[in-house]
Amino acid sequence: MEYSVENIRTRFPALASGAVFFDGPGGTQVPQAVIDAVAGYYRDANANEHGFFPTSRRSDAVISQARQAVADFLNAHEAAEIIFGANMTTLTLHLARALGRTLKAGDEIVVTRLDHDANIAPWLHLQESGAMVRWLEIDPADCTLKLDALERTLSRKTRIVAVGFASNAFGTINDVPRILAAAKKVGALTFVDAVHYAPHRAIDVQLLDCDFLACSPYKFYGPHSGVLFGKREALERLQPYKVRPAGDMIPDSFETGTKNHEGIAGIAAAVDFLAALGRDSGPDQAPGLEAVAAGRRRWLKQALAAIQDHETRLFSRMLEGLLALPGLRVYGITDPKRFSQRTPTACFTLPGLAPAVIAGKLGAAGIHVWEGNYYAWEPMKFLGLEEKGGAVRAGLCLYNKDEEVDRFLEILRNIIRGAI
């Protein structure tokens, strides 16, 4: 497929502001198709589920179609394995609480020091049941996991292994297939936090053979919401906490209360936006919804491969410029030969300047970045950054372009020179 960043940018109304959005790791902008889908739901289908009247039936159809779209996005076996929720954190806490019912004193859970706290704190809470948490540690040199200790960290007592697909702070892509394979050897259930990975690479839960995987549509051009995949057999073995009238079958048993229907409509639109980019004929003319649904899984793979190529090229430009700036330190993998092991997210500090000061100066110049710990509290504390205000984070995504990278680097040079 032909990748035209200028064509893609025309689909995102927010980009007309002229701002440079490098805040994507905290949430991307949305295309007009997502805005239209959310508004269209309110206009044509705004009702609760399972009623005997037109708007309710339309609402049922919206949710069903979105569930299938996310199943295609993750290559799940069936749509019933997709659970919608408020966000990844809430879904993970909900799942962890259900899994906690299966644990006993002395059972072990493995987490990593590299993860976002949404994939650490829910499992730490299970220590209340007598379970023990064991840690897979970080190599501070390149912010990767010390996988040489993986087998020693696991044991016959390991019941759950929770790992992030990619670090939302440093961009590190973990060797998840290796970790999941080791977990299966000891009979543990596996949970993957794919929030930071999903916008940048294709996900195949059947190939991974993970038991659970969570991601956030607002990180891949959709509304603020969360998605949880669970293998049918794994979900059906659990007893989630729910109200009594709620259905006992999946996915209903895990979806507490009334869902965010308008957001779910936007999720489907975000997936179909990405799928349309992967059409063999390119993104110039949007296909109909039936055509998208028919080719969705194949087109998504093609789109995400093209997005990866674009982002990797752009990140090489950004990283080369960052490493050339005097005193600036980039955390994580910096060797271009290892870019297959990271996402296009740069985390950096400058001596003598607090991250909040740097982010403030960039923000005043129209460059949107994040600073702090981004809820990656454990790794920031481990690296000694938490007490220093964390670090600055700039992330690239499918709509960013060369001129934006160059503008960002020039402003940073002026900050270092004291001109800003």
Q: What is the pLDDT of residue 360?
A: 98
Q: What is the pLDDT of residue 419?
A: 86
pTM of the complete model: 0.96
Q: What is the pLDDT of residue 288?
A: 58
Average pLDDT over residues 246-266: 95
Per residue, the 3-state secondary structure of 42-72, as one string, reads HHHCCCCCCCCCHHHHHHHHHHHHHHHHHHH
Rg of the chain in Å (alpha carbons): 21
Asked if residue 44 belongs to a domain, the reply is: yes
Same domain, 130 and 165: yes
What token pair was written down for 317?
């430009």
Q: Let me know how long the chain is.
A: 420
CATH number at residue 19: 3.90.1150.10
Q: What is the mean pLDDT of the chain?
A: 96
Q: What is the pLDDT of residue 124?
A: 98
What token pair was written down for 258?
């009334």
Q: What is the pLDDT of residue 60?
A: 98
- Is residue 202's pLDDT more than 70? yes
- Is residue 210's pLDDT more than 70? yes
| Range of the structural domain that residue 343 is part of | 5-30+306-417
Average pLDDT over residues 125-140: 97
Same domain, 84 and 26: no
Same domain, 95 and 200: yes
Beta strand 367-368 pairing with 20-21: parallel
Q: What is the pLDDT of residue 283?
A: 46
User: What total number of domains does the chain contain?
Assistant: 2
- Is residue 275's pLDDT more than 90? yes
Average pLDDT over residues 21-31: 98
pLDDT in tens, 280-328: 544 445 555 556 667 899 999 999 999 999 999 999 999 999 999 999 9
CATH number at residue 113: 3.40.640.10
pLDDT in tens, 230-240: 999 999 999 99
What are the start-end ranges of the E strands in 51-175? Answer: 82-85, 108-112, 132-136, 138-139, 144-145, 158-164
Structural domain ending residue among the three candidates 273, 294, 314: 273
Give the lowest-confidence range in 29-43, 212-226, 281-295: 281-295
Asked if residue 83 belongs to a domain, the reply is: yes
232, with CB counted inside 10 A (0-12, 13-18, 19+), is middle
